[in-house]
Amino acid sequence: MNKKHACSRFAPVLLLATLVLPMPAAEDNPFLTVPNTPYQTPAFDRIQVGHYLPAMQEGIRRHQAEIDAIVANAKAPTFENTIVALDMSGQLLGEVSAVFYSLLGAATSQPMQDLANELAPLLSTHNDNIALNGKLFARVKAVYDRRAKLKLDEVQRYLLENTYRGFVRSGALLDEKQKDRLREINKEHSLLALKFSDNVLAETNSSFIVIENKDDLAGLPDGVVAEAAATAKAMNMEGKWVFTAQKTSWIPFLQYSPKRELRESLYTRWFMRGDRDNDRDNKAVLQKLLVLREERYRLLGYKTPADFYLEPRMARTPAAVNEFLMRLWQPALAQAKAEAAALQKLIDGEKGGFALRSWDWWYYAEKLRKAKYDLDDSELRPYFKLENVQQGMFTLAEKLWGLKFVERKDIPVYDPEVRVAEVREGDGTLLGILYMDFFPRANKQGGAWSGGFRGTFYKDGKRVIPFATLVGNFTKPTTGTPSLLSIDEALTSFHEFGHALNTLFTDSRYRSNFAPQDSVELPSQIMEHWVLEPEMLKLYARHYQTGEVIPTALVEKLRNSSLFNQGFETVEFLASCFLDMAWHQLESALNVNVTRFEKKLMDKIGLIPEILPRWGSTYFTHIHGGYEAGYYSYMWSEVLDCDAFEAFKETSLFDRKTAASFRKHILARLGTEDAMTLYKRFRGREPKVEPLLKKRGLL
């Protein structure tokens, strides 16, 4: 997931926050002085929670002064004095916000969460004051109306058109009464979105099972047991074993534990997050979020939130998304039904005496995988030591683009587990800095994402280097055993590395990036294709004890099993896509019962009871975290990445010429020009869907 936290450049003057925090003097605030760090990276060795508020306030003050200067300019509006000036405004606020919101996800605390709730309405007001500034919009519109007469290149036109559209979509054409209501909606919505995320984090941290009887650990690999023991020790339950709602914990348990009642107990804790009718219940929060969105987009002239969100994307309309999803759904559902029947046959053959349920799927699928392909997860993990996977990512980037990664231990980090690499071109030119944060913590949101503490742009003719992040929640090392990743975790590592490369490679004159949501997964998902290619495996998949390269026989088993369980994986994902779209196509969520709505939808599309959506409504953070009506984007982008990878297969896996073209037209430019135009420059045509269908065994 590409999770880029940044304050919108639409912003102004705010009232002082009422939250009481220490207020260090400006000269002591690392955000307000030039950092004495390599490349002026964030001074995490000095940053304290109390630094954020005064830095934000100063950022807002400077930003407002820049906006005032644009509005007060006596000269006629031009592309340079209005559009470019607006694009370059708010740099301090943007960088402070990027650090704060990145750490709010990766290293949060109660003071951070309190401050986030205090800042949400203030930043919402700041953004609205700019987006709804009539005099500023008048200057933007004056340039936009003359666009046909201006000698602009494609990048400049794209910036102008999207800047104008951003104002309109933010309410610039509303009357004053409507603008006032929009401000109120935006404030309330920002607080509710934070509450939803806070509830999910709290629910995740409190969702676990404790095992006291060693016999209940039967069937579990040693590494899984060791991690559970370490988790228990960290929770002051030494001598016991704790399995949590973190993916690295609950999935291995469901894969290997023969204790059906325990599988059900842990899985139920996972999918009931935010739906327990307690003080962290998200049903009412979700409903309020949706009702506010509906009102917001009706004010702006849209029938539903989905119509608003999809307008600037490649898909354009809800109908196009629904048609795309259904095209994949029918063959995937048929495949999933066949897989369910095979698993039920396995249960019946063992005289299990019960019907397959969702908490049984992983266990019996793993059994069937082993029986059909003589392959199981525990046999593979020793070849995917985290450090080896990391080196594999670096090796791939070196082979494709000549990049060099040099560890830097002198760059401050926000947690001792974080690693930092300096990234250089083959000729030694500094490209950027990469922060890597791999393991789960109680103060860290679940999942994996990539963002940055600073994006790239040009200032005074020189490129400002980006600070990219790669954040995950992968299997932790235990006493005597390093971090050994599952295939899914290895794929996720390469995925987020692709996002990071996109951040590092971006080469734009301007700070603004307008990549359509349904194109942003192309740079990440294409990287997954290399992970299990035999040529690539030889370069990094080595046994953590012997150093032996993964055996050819094991690689062949991997290839033979590549389509195994694809019905399940595709269906559980698509079910969440349908759920996301259904919520955002509602004209009114006011009196909708969340539980009944979800069930009715799943019945309508024919989801079989043995499978649940990958994300349930009450913990579906994508639907307010930048992927609103956009969860389908992963699958839409998969059409792009499967087709794009074919370009490499048509030449060679590490073809430098193809890689250079992909970098030039996609990685460096995505968000600066029309996404389909860029793709066609790379591929010479629009993408075909057949490679995706083939990859998932649906063709």
Q: Check: CB of residue 327 under 8 Å from CB of residue 576.
A: no
* 536: Cα separation from own chain's centroid: 25
Tokens at residue 615, please? 């994300």
Q: Which residue has the tokens 């676990």?
A: 208
Q: Which helix (H) or strand (E) holds 310?
A: helix 305-310
Pick from 7, 9, 50: nearest CA to 26: 50
Inter-CA distances, 1 with 290, 618, 621, 687, Å: 22, 19, 11, 22
3-state SS, residue 627: coil
End-to-end CA distance of the chain: 27
Q: Which amino acid is at 398?
A: E
Q: What is the DSSP string of 440-459?
A: --TTS-SS-EEEEEE--EEE
Q: Which residues contact 274 (CB under 8 A, 6 or more apart)?
A: 196, 199, 200, 203, 280, 281, 282, 283, 616, 618, 619
CA 281/CA 275 separation, integer angstroms = 5
The answer for 263, left when phi > 0, alpha when psi is -120 to 50, beta otherwise, is: alpha
CA 513/CA 162 separation, integer angstroms = 9
DSSP 524: H
CA 101/CA 573 separation, integer angstroms = 27
DSSP 542: B
b/e 65-98 (16+ beta carbons within 10 angstroms → b): ebbeebeeeeeebbbebbbbbbbbbbbbbbbbbb
Q: Which amino acid is at 91?
A: Q
CA 286/CA 196 separation, integer angstroms = 7
CA 675/CA 665 separation, integer angstroms = 10
Q: Which of 496, 521, 638, 673 is catalytic?
A: 496
CA 332/CA 572 separation, integer angstroms = 10
496 is catalytic: yes
CA 18/CA 16 separation, integer angstroms = 6
CA 503/CA 468 separation, integer angstroms = 6
Round the CA-based radius of gyration of the chain to a whole number and report it. 25
DSSP 389: H
CA 10/CA 456 separation, integer angstroms = 19
Tokens at residue 624, please? 């307010």
User: Which active-site residues does the annotation give?
Assistant: 496
